[in-house]
Amino acid sequence: MQVGGTKPSNVQEIINHLDDVEYPVTGREFMEACNNMSDVTKEQKDWTQRNINMDKKYNSPEEIKRDLKL
């Protein structure tokens, strides 16, 4: 996980998609799903990828929100 970068001004699209994946999900699986979501901007995807733990297994949307500090 490479923590960094300025949080996008609008992260609502990321938050909206937290409920679109089946849990448990790894950070990598979540990002793969995000990369197929056309309404998530490149800036949002890049920021999420830098700030999510790709190897961690997340059991709920709240766990991802906590790691992303949303």
- Per-residue pLDDT reduced to its tens digit, 17-38: 898 889 999 999 998 887 777 7
In 3D space, the residue among 7, 1, 19, 4 whose CA is nearest the CA of residue 70 turns out to be 7
**Is residue 57's pLDDT more than 90?**
yes
Query: What does the pLDDT average to over 38-59?
Result: 90
Question: In angstroms, how far is the first alpha carbon of the chain from the final one?
Answer: 16
Q: Which long-range contacts (CB under 8 A, 24 or more apart) does 44-48 make?
A: 44/8, 44/10, 44/11, 44/13, 44/14, 46/5, 47/5, 47/6, 47/7, 47/8, 48/14
